[in-house]
Amino acid sequence: MNSHERRIYLQLQELPRDRAVQLWDKGQGALGARRQANLRDLDPARMIAKFEVGGATRIVHVPLTFVNEVWIDESDVWNVDVKGAINMSQSSGNVPFVPFGSLP
């Protein structure tokens, strides 16, 4: 784990598990924007964060290296900015995360 991933890992550990956070991705159209999400798991061995998006049946795995920033806004809401798109076209199961730069 490099220093960026370690910093992000430590910041994500502070996220509340009982409240939604704002997850910002970089997609276009049906992909992308600000999403309500809940952090479900942090896996330091695989270096990923697992977020529940759009209901308990959709989980997106985001590699820590693709998390830009973690912050609390003026309304005390946690925000997570990621470098990539979350493809919400799946109705359940694991939702694909497409790293920025890999978009068509």
Q: How many domains is the chain built from?
A: 1
Task: Map tokens 């912050």 to a residue.
Answer: 71
**Domain containing residue 11:** 3-86
Q: What confidence tier does 73 reach under pLDDT thresholds 50, 70, 90? A: very high
What does pTM read for this prediction?
Answer: 0.86
Q: What confidence tier does 104 reach under pLDDT thresholds 50, 70, 90? A: very low
**Residue 73 lies inside a defined structural domain of this protein:** yes
Is the per-residue pLDDT at 30 higher than 60?
Answer: no
Is the per-residue pLDDT at 52 higher than 60?
Answer: yes
SS3 of 14, please?
coil
**Residue 102 lies inside a defined structural domain of this protein:** no
Task: Map tokens 């697992």 to a residue.
Answer: 50
Those residues whose C-beta lies under 8 Å from the C-beta of residue 96, and which sit 6 or more positions away, are: 60, 86, 87, 90
**Residue 22 lies inside a defined structural domain of this protein:** yes
Is the per-residue pLDDT at 88 higher than 50?
Answer: yes
**Residue 52 lies inside a defined structural domain of this protein:** yes
Residue 58 DSSP code = E
**Residue 20 lies inside a defined structural domain of this protein:** yes
> Which amino acid does the sequence have at 38?
N
Is the per-residue pLDDT at 26 higher than 90?
Answer: no
**Residue 42 lies inside a defined structural domain of this protein:** yes
